[in-house]
Amino acid sequence: DSGVTQTPKHLITATGQRVTLRCSPRSGDLSVYWYQQSLDQGLQFLIQYYNGEERAKGNILERFSAQQFPDLHSELNLSSLELGDSALYFCASSMWQNTEAFFGQGTRLTVV
Amino acid sequence: EDQVTQSPEALRLQEGESSSLNCSYTVSGLRGLFWYRQDPGKGPEFLFTLYSAGEEKEKERLKATLTKKESFLHITAPKPEDSATYLCAVRDYGQNFVFGPGTRLSVLP
């Protein structure tokens, strides 16, 4: 158990809908990262927050947004969902910005 | 733009047959190179962090090394339970944390 908690574990929704994925980082970790992993694809970096502020942005679509709250948990919002958004979404956390990150078990999103 | 490549894409070994996995990177200021192991449908599991050329880290049958342009993950006398996808990632000064595509390792009994 990495200490990073993601909810829900599974999510099935229809095209055009909006969903929110939640991540609770390890106790004491200030950085949160979001990744997308499509079937048999690599981990695509979406966005990073450090202590509530956005610090790095990867290939995140405009339909996607994220935020980190004062208690350091983070949410990833996905809207106007398309079939191609079906993937595993991982959250990771690290204590500082240059230390190793620990991953949650992911949320499997299926868009039908 | 940071780039991370890994080779081979897939590797099949007999139990006990040692080998190495390669991670080559191009990054604007390296702030760490990381190795992870990922089982199907699971989150990546952290293995090692390397910060500077010449650094080595070891854990059980795994040893990671770092040069200025690449890193190697050496697997000594692997067992079937070492079968997984091994991922390499780099962090740059802009805080981008980029993963390579991974090497799928299968260790046959």
Q: Is A43 in Cβ contact with B45 (below 8 Å)? A: no
* Residue B72 or residue A1, greater confidence: B72
pLDDT at B54: 95
Contacts of B89 in chain A (CB under 8 A): 43
pLDDT at B1: 77
Tell me the three state secondary structure of residue B7.
Answer: strand
DSSP at B82: G
For chain A, the average pLDDT equals 94
Q: Is A4 in Cβ contact with B98 (below 8 Å)? A: no
Q: Is A106 in Cβ contact with B43 (below 8 Å)? A: yes
- Average pLDDT score over residue span B76-92: 95
Q: Would you say residue B44 has pLDDT above 80? A: yes
Q: Are B45 and A103 in contact (CB under 8 A)?
A: yes
Q: Are B15 and B58 in contact (CB under 8 A)?
A: no
